[in-house]
Amino acid sequence: MTAEEDDTGRSVDATDTEVTGAGATATPAAKPIVPVVLLALAAAGLWASSRMTWVTVYSADGLTEPRTDDLNGGVWFGALTPLALVLVASIAAVFAVKGVLRQLLGVVISVVAAAAAVPGFALAVGAGRTADRAGTLAELPVRAVVSSADTHLGPAILSIAAASLALAAGILLTRRTGERTEEVSDRYDNPVFRKADASAAVSKQNAETGTAAPLSDRVLWDALDAGTDPTDTPDTPGADRGPAGENK
Interval 36-78: pLDDT, tens: 999 999 999 999 999 999 999 998 887 888 889 999 999 999 9
pLDDT at position 147: 86
Residues 120 and 157 sit within 8 Å (Cβ to Cβ): yes
Give pLDDT tens digits for 235-245: 555 444 444 44
> pLDDT category, 13, cuts 50, 70, 90?
very low
Q: Quick one: pLDDT at residue 62?
A: 77
Q: What is the pTM of this model?
A: 0.61
Confidence (pLDDT) at 232: 60
CB neighbours of residue 184 within 10 Å: 17
Q: Is residue 9 scored above 80 in pLDDT? A: no
Instruction: Report which of 175, 152, 27 is spatially closest to residue 100, judged by C-alpha positions.
Output: 175
Q: What percent of the chain has pLDDT over 90?
A: 42
Instruction: For helices 99-125 and 153-173, give the axis angle rounded to 10 degrees.
Output: 160
Ramachandran quadrant class, 227 (left: phi over 0; alpha: psi -120 to 50; beta: rest): left
- DSSP codes of every residue in 177-234: HHHHHHHHHHHHHSHHHHHHHHHHHHHHHHHTTT-SPPPPHHHHHHHHHTT--TT--T
pLDDT of residue 77: 93
pLDDT in tens, 173-193: 998 655 454 555 555 556 666
- Closest alpha carbon to 142 in 69, 63, 73, 77: 63
> Per-residue pLDDT for 135 more than 80?
yes
Q: What is the pLDDT of residue 18?
A: 44
Residue 123: which pLDDT band, with cuts at 50, 70 and 90? Answer: very high
**Kind and range of the H or E run holding 119:** helix 99-125
Residue 128's CB is within 10 A of a number of other CB atoms, namely 11
- For residue 128, report the phi and psi dihedrals to the nearest 5 degrees: 85, 170
Residue with the larger pLDDT of the pair 13 and 131: 131
Q: What is the pLDDT of residues 193-236, one digit of tens each?
A: 666 676 666 566 656 555 545 656 666 666 666 666 556 655 55
User: What's the angle, vertex CA 246, arms to CA 242 and CA 248, rounded to 5?
Assistant: 120
